[in-house]
Each structure stands twice: as C-alpha cells, then as structure tokens.
C-alpha cells in the first residue's frame, strides 16, 4: 500500500483531479541491481475517466535518491511514445528522508478502452525498474434472455431471444447461434461491438424464434467468441421462468370435474367437465382438441368447448369442455377425456367415474337460531344450518325465506369437511344473514339440504322466532323452474 496521500499525487502530477494507486494493476520488473526505484501505477478513479478524449495515466517512483530519475514510456508494441504527451515532475523529498519522483502520460480513449498495455520505465544511478499499466479489466459477462408467452402475440407468432455480451476485452467479438446444436445462418441480427468506456465492449444479438419451436422446447445456444473470451449459453422454454420472473413456463394442466349432485338432482342428467388450464392466450383455443368417450363401448360423446376465461390472479386462461350424459350412465359407467394441444408433449387422457367407496349415509340436519347477543344489537342476525355425518361428500344447501328462494349471494356454504375416517363421514355448515327486524316479526327460514342418501334425495327444516324449534319435512321438491329428463 502506498503511504502517500492524494494531495501528494496531485503535487507530483500537476493533475486537476487526484490520481489513485488503487485502480488497475501494475507488475514491476527490476533492473540488474536490487536498489532501483520502486514503481507504482497511477490512474484517475474510474468514474472520473473521460469517455471521450485523452486519458491521463501516471507513474510514481518511491524511495529514490535525490539524484535525477529518468522516465520513459512505451506502448504495447514496445515502441517509444511521443515525448509531447509525457510530463516529468521534479524529485520531491519528504519528512522520512526519502524522495519520490513521478511522470504522467496521455493516451487516447480508444487505446485505453481497448485495454492496451503501457509501460513506464524509471532509471537512476542505482538501477532501473519497469511497470506495466492497463485499464482495470472487469470479468466479461454473457447473458441470454428468452421470450415471454405474451411476446408471441403478433401476427407472425414470433418472438426474440436476446443475447448480451458485456465487459468484452476485444472489439473483434463474434456471435453464433445454434438450434439443437445445429449452426444457424440466418434469422438473427447482431449489433457490433460498441465501446462502453472502462467497461470494455458490449455486443447484442437477437434471434427470432417461432412459437412452435419455443413450445416444442427446442434448445437455442448463443456462442460468443473473441481472442480473450469464449463462452456458450443455452436456453429453452423449460429452462427459464416467465410470468414476469419473466417467462415462467407453466405446463398446460388437464383435470376432470365430476358432475355435482345439485345439477343431477335438478336436471336428472350429469355434466362431465374436462378443464384445461394454464393456456397462454385465448387464440390457442383453435389449437385445442377435446373429446369425451364412454369407456364401455368407446362411443364418442358430443363435446362442447366453452368460452375461454382468465384464471384468477394469473395471466393464464382456462377452458371447460363438457359432455352431458344420463344419471343412470353416470352411476354405472366410466368416461375418458382426451386432450391434444401443441403445448402438451403428447395427447393427455383422464378417466372420470363415480366413486363407490362405501355405503351412502344420509346427513343429520340442524338449524340453529341467531344468538341472543347478536339479536340484542338489533342489526343483522345469523341463522346456521349444520349438515352432519354424511357420505359421500357431495351435497347441496339452499335457503328459502317465507317459502321463497333466497339468492346464493345472501348465504355462505362451506366445503365438506371430514369428521371421521372409520366410517368415512363428512360435515358442513351454511350461514344465512337476515335482518333482525324480519326475524323479530316472525319471518320463516328454511334450510333445504340435498343428498343422495335421503329417501327422496332431499330434506328441509324450517325455523322462525315464534316456534323456536325447527320442523323437519322430507320432500321431493324441485328447486328449478325447468326440470329435464335424460333419454
């Protein structure tokens, strides 16, 4: 570490800004004697080095005798540098009884940014020393970025892979692209090496890729080469993240959804649903093929593909493909959904059938009045319907007020929750918020529960303030204005 301060460097070099020995590197080469000068390279801090115009570098000789020190400078070809660009300053003593001497030289920004070495040689009566000085070299970097799915939303269905090489130490840098290991001769544009100050040179190349190749997980390679650097970076759709990590590759997902008991009860038919999610865009619908088939006789069913919808909290989309069958078919047969899509490596087949895991068990239904503490607030009141001990776990709850249906937005019904494993049983609850006034004036509220194990597949309980007790009636009540049959 050099013990002299910045003010000393400014004194020696006559610089407008202090030079620092901490930038870059130097290698001292001693002469024949071991008492030649100790040399240190000097350069302005990197943030103060001009991007255009001359760059000033310095050479400091420390612990020299008071006799004259002679400096000479050479370029990277060992040729002498024009003396008009060199300054030498007088030897200066310090309180320790030793002396220092210095010299400075100006070089072109082009040579400096090209990392060309320069040599400073100092001689006195006791010997000589030589030091090499070049721009501080930052480790070269190569970055490759893949496209996002939304980048393909153009008429040509193409997007770009970008390859950026920075901090290159050579202006003659080449870029080569490969697809699955095969060299590409076209389809890319490369911006030639551009000087980036002391950051060296940068090069940018963009390769156009088709949506089909990207979706097929083709591997693309960017190979950057010069005399001092050679590296290859690979990229494919399965190797990157998008969704603005950017580009998470999310696989298309296929799942089957069984018909709900409430739909079977109301329509006497069963809707088989095949849901295809993580679709990147609505336009992919024309590339989607879905068929439902009955397993027993391989009969293809009429399949209807619905509207594409955006997934919740996502830039992706999903679509449902449905087929309608009779309730009796659902009870005894199995069905297959086959999906083909260019983002799937192969056709995906999912099987759906009604579960017959145990003996059906009807639920017990309890309707609970609002708590007295809640009624005392004279605001809203909550009536609770507890559905307990049923199997299988498919059920429905609907509410009625004074024998009129209540809209689904006015009540909440939980998902079935397992309460025991042996035997397998489930419970659920539904809460209805009512006006305290309506309750106090004697309005009646009915909880209607549907389950396949009820004798008539449905049960209802009615509660009001006056009776205080719910009344139970088993009925076969049609809750839809249109009840259809399956033939």
183 vs 215, 229, 233, 292, 294, CA distance in Å? 20, 20, 14, 44, 49
Express each pLDDT in 41-60 by its tens digit.
777 665 566 666 788 888 88
Report how far residue 48's alpha carbon sits from residue 360's, in angstroms, rounded to the nearest whole number: 83
Note the helical H segments in 63-107: none
Higher pLDDT, 57 or 408: 408
Express each pLDDT in 446-483 by its tens digit.
999 999 999 888 999 999 988 766 555 444 444 443 34
Q: Which two tokens stand for residue 152?
A: 């393909």
Omega cis (within 30) before 392: yes
- Side-chain half-sphere CA neighbours of 106 within 13 A: 9
379 vs 54, 369, 385, 433, CA distance in Å? 82, 15, 20, 10
The pLDDT assigned to 370 comes to: 92
Ordered domains of the chain (ranges, CATH): 6-133 (2.60.40.10), 141-235 (2.60.40.10), 253-353 (2.60.40.10), 364-473 (2.60.40.10)
**CB proximity list for 108: less than 8 A, separation 6 or greater:** 54, 55
Residue 447 contacts residue 406 (beta carbons within 8 Å): no
Report how far residue 408's alpha carbon sits from residue 334's, in angstroms, rounded to the nearest whole number: 32
The pLDDT assigned to 366 comes to: 95
Note the helical H segments in 235-359: 261-267, 327-332
The pLDDT assigned to 45 comes to: 65
Average pLDDT on 348-376 reads: 90
Higher pLDDT, 162 or 135: 162
For 107, the enclosing helix (H) or strand (E) is strand 99-108
**CB proximity list for 137: less than 8 A, separation 6 or greater:** 115, 167, 169, 200
Report whether pLDDT(368) > 90: yes
pTM for this structure?
Answer: 0.47
| 200 pLDDT tier (thresholds 50, 70, 90) | low
Higher pLDDT, 400 or 153: 400
The pLDDT assigned to 218 comes to: 92
Report how far residue 46's alpha carbon sits from residue 24's, in angstroms, rounded to the nearest whole number: 9
The pLDDT assigned to 137 comes to: 56
- Cα angle 50, 56, 61; round to 5: 150
Report whether pLDDT(32) > 70: no
Express each pLDDT in 176-197 by its tens digit.
999 999 999 999 998 876 555 4
Place of tokens 């509220």: 445
Place of tokens 């999610």: 277
Contacts 24+ apart (CB under 8 A), 7-12: 8/100, 9/42, 9/58, 9/60, 9/102, 11/92, 12/58, 12/60, 12/89, 12/92, 12/100, 12/101, 12/102
Residue 243, number of CB atoms within 10 A of its CB: 15
Higher pLDDT, 20 or 81: 81
């Amino acid at each position: 570490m050099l013990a002299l301060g910045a003010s000393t460097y400014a004194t020696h070099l006559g610089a407008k800004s202090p030079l620092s020995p901490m930038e870059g590197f130097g290698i001292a080469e001693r002469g024949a004697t071991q008492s030649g000068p100790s040399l240190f390279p000097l350069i302005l801090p990197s943030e103060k080095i001009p991007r255009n115009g001359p760059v000033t570098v310095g050479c400091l000789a420390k612990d020299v005798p008071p006799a004259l020190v002679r400096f000479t400078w050479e370029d990277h070809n060992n040729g002498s540098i024009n003396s008009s660009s060199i300054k030498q300053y007088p030897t200066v003593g310090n309180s320790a009884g030793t002396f220092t001497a210095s010299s400075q030289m100006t070089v072109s920004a082009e040579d400096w940014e090209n990392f060309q070495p320069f040599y400073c040689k100092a001689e006195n009566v006791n010997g000589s020393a030589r030091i090499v000085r070049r721009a501080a070299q930052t480790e070269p970097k190569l970055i490759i970025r893949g496209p996002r799915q939304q980048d393909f939303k153009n008429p040509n269905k193409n997007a770009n892979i970008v390859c950026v090489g920075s901090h290159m130490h050579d202006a003659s840098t080449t870029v080569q692209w490969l697809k699955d290991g095969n060299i590409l001769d076209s389809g890319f544009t490369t911006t030639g090496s551009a000087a980036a100050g002391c950051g060296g040179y940068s090069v940018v190349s963009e390769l156009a890729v088709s949506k089909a190749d990207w979706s097929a997980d083709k591997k693309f390679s960017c190979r950057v080469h010069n005399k001092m650097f050679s590296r290859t970076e690979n990229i494919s759709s399965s190797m990157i993240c998008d969704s603005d990590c950017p580009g998470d590759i999310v696989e298309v997902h296929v799942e089957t959804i069984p018909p709900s008991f409430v739909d079977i009860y109301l329509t006497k038919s069963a809707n088989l649903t095949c849901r295809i999610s993580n679709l990147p865009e609505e336009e992919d619908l024309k590339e989607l093929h879905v068929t439902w088939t009955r397993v027993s006789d391989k009969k293809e069913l009429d399949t209807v593909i619905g509207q594409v919808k955006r997934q919740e909290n996502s830039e992706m989309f999903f679509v449902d493909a449905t087929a309608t069958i009779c309730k009796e078919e659902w009870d005894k047969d199995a069905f297959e959904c086959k999906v083909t899509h260019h983002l799937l490596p192969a056709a995906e087949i999912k099987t759906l059938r009604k579960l017959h895991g145990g003996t059906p068990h009807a639920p017990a239904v309890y309707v609970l009045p609002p708590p007295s503490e809640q009624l005392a607030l004279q605001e809203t009141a909550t009536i609770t319907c507890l559905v307990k001990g049923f199997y299988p776990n498919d059920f429905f709850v609907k509410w009625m007020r004074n024998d009129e249906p209540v809209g689904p937005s006015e009540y909440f019904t939980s998902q079935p929750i397992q309460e025991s494993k042996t035997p397998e049983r489930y419970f659920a609850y539904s809460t209805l918020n009512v006006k305290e006034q309506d309750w106090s004036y004697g309005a009646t509220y009915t909880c209607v529960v549907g389950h396949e194990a009820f004798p008539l597949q449905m049960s209802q309980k009615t509660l009001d303030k006056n009776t205080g007790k719910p009344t139970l009636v088993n009925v076969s009540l049609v809750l839809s204005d249109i009840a259809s049959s399956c033939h």
